[in-house]
Structure 1
Amino acid sequence: MSISPLARVASNSVVEPGVVLGAHVNIGPFCVISAGVVIGEGTTVGSHSVINGLTTIGRDNTIGQYASIGEVSQDLKYANEPTTLVIGDRNQIGNKATLHRGTIQGHATTVIGDDNHFLTGVHIGHDCVVGNGTLIKDNSGLAGHVILDDGAQVGYMCAIHQFCVLGSHSNVADQSGVVQDIPPFVMGGGNHARPTGIDVNTRAFLALDTRQQDFVHSLYSMLYQQSLSIDEVKIAVKASGMDFAIAAVFERFFAHSARGIIR
């Protein structure tokens, strides 16, 4: 066990041998922190939370009450292999959130980046890869193997099907069911989710110059108004890479997308 003298652990919480707690970590009452967990400097864990498995948590995160972090996945093939959950820095994880570690059938790890905001009751399934600056609202869940790219937003009470890819700065409306991939900057809603336009109000879109904004609109038109094939759009994106930096975001999306896009 390695617990910084500057860490604070409530007297009625259980911290097993082998746990590493950095400086200014604060573990609230009635928590259980299992062997193999590493928690970085400045992270706060709310009361009645359980963190177990080979879970590594970075700096300055806030974990709410009754959270379950690093739990065994719901994949029935899981057989207690030493898989992991890795969480970055400055994430806000809400009350009753559940974040599962990976499986050897997937990446063997679930990865959460930096500066994400997960509200109450959010579920992150096994082998998910979540980027930076995302938002998932109350009682929404990512099934296993989902990719949630930088800046993507998921509304209240949404379900994201396994192996889906939600591109950078995409936006899923409340109470939606997503069963196919959503390209960058695209808004989708309904069950099953359908495209509803470009999210022109996201900060990332507003930060683009006019030419790059027009490029995003042109790709949306290719996909949803001109009805070009995915392969044709991929060719257009690749050809535009030298002229538009934002094209790299779409190239990354298409490199991972395998379920087809929402229509």
Structure 2
Amino acid sequence: MTNIHPTAIVDPKAQLAGDVVVGPYAIVGPNVTIGAGSQILAHTVVDGHTTLGEGNKIGPFASIGGSPQDMKYAGEPTRLVIGDRNTIREFTTIHTGTVQDGGLTSVGNDNWIMAYVHIAHDCHVANHTVFSSNAQLAGHVHVDDWAIIGGMTGVHQFVRIGAHAMVGGASVLVQDVPSFVIASGDRAVPYGINVEGLRRRGFSADAITALRHAYKLLYKSGLTLDEAKVQIEAFGNAGAPDVFEAVRALLDFLNASTRGIVR
């Protein structure tokens, strides 16, 4: 049976799995769906056209599914979709999308989102990411699997942060951070490959060596970006399958970048 505190307000149209916990003074709106095993803690608001999967824990005073902070927004029924097993800590804000960009904000699975984080309209956060306290995403930002964003970091709209990338605390990001790269500062600049993170996630020594070589071609060779991509692709194609896969992921990110990468 759903465990709803007597002081909580849950709209009768909301769809909650049978074991969902809703804490004191929480509010759940009419267009909300919450999956099994999820917890909505005290004073949290879940509103808008919002879907939460299974096993999520939403901390006190979070605001999930609020209207986008976009002056073009005119009340359209845009959406927020959050996957499974996410921890979203107190005072975090995650907004629905806008019709100018597909009408959807999304958060994947197994993300660790600390206090006071803001994820704006039309952002897409993948899986296994970590957001330290006060990390702030403007609209339309994409964050790929296993990325880590340091506390007090501000990310400009339309920026992409690649898989396994790490952004240092109190950074300002106005350009994309390629997959596997560490970046930090105001404005953020690259500091190498996220070697320790890759080791922890099972990347082979050969794959890490290949990514370090790719980094040198990108940032230390004097080559243009297009010239570096040609050389990176050549040695990636000649490598073992794990090397090819890692280098291909980096190249795919570089080819999809529209804002340019941190330099």
* Pairwise same-fold verdict (TM > 0.5): yes
- Distance in 2 separating the partners of 1:248 and 1:94: 34
Change (3 A) 1:165 1:142: same
Secondary structure of the residue aligned to 1:227 is coil
By how many angstroms is 1:200 displaced?
1.0
- Distance in 2 separating the partners of 1:241 and 1:45: 48
Change (3 A) 1:57 1:241: farther
Matched, 1:166 2:178: no
- Distance in 2 separating the partners of 1:223 and 1:38: 45
- Match in the other structure for 1:120: 115
By how many angstroms is 1:129 displaced?
0.7
- Distance in 1 separating the partners of 2:197 and 2:159: 21
- Match in the other structure for 2:261: 261
TM-score by length of 1: 0.94
CA deviations over 1:176-202 (Å, ceiling 9, x no partner): 111100011111111100111111110
By how many angstroms is 1:205 displaced?
6.5
- Distance in 2 separating the partners of 1:84 and 1:186: 31
By how many angstroms is 1:76 displaced?
0.6
Contact kept? 2:67, 2:96, Cα under 8 Å = yes
- Match in the other structure for 1:250: 250
- Match in the other structure for 2:43: 48
- Distance in 1 separating the partners of 2:63 and 2:204: 42
- Match in the other structure for 1:7: 2
* Structure 2 unmatched runs, 5+: none
Summarize the alignment of residues 130-209 of structure 1 with structure 2, pairs less than 5 Å apart. 130-203=125-198, 207-209=202-204
Contact kept? 1:64, 1:94, Cα under 8 Å = yes
Contact kept? 1:169, 1:204, Cα under 8 Å = no
- Distance in 2 separating the partners of 1:226 and 1:205: 28
- Distance in 1 separating the partners of 2:222 and 2:199: 26
- Distance in 2 separating the partners of 1:132 and 1:236: 30
By how many angstroms is 1:250 displaced?
1.4
By how many angstroms is 1:237 displaced?
4.5
Contact kept? 1:200, 1:206, Cα under 8 Å = no
By how many angstroms is 1:260 displaced?
0.6
- Match in the other structure for 2:98: 103
Matched, 1:92 2:87: yes
Q: Which moved more, 1:143-152 or 1:242-251?
A: 242-251
Matched, 1:20 2:15: yes
The one-letter code of the counterpart of 2:88 is: I
Contact kept? 1:94, 1:118, Cα under 8 Å = yes
- Distance in 1 separating the partners of 2:222 and 2:149: 26
- Distance in 2 separating the partners of 1:171 and 1:154: 6
* Residues matched between the structures, number: 258
- Match in the other structure for 1:63: 58
By how many angstroms is 1:241 displaced?
4.7
The one-letter code of the counterpart of 2:36 is: E
Q: Which of 57, 60, 69 lines up with 1:74 in the alignment?
A: 69
> Aligned-pair RMSD on alpha carbons?
1.5
Q: Which moved more, 1:154-163 or 1:208-217?
A: 208-217
By how many angstroms is 1:207 displaced?
1.6
Q: Which of 26, 30, 42 lines up with 1:31 in the alignment?
A: 26
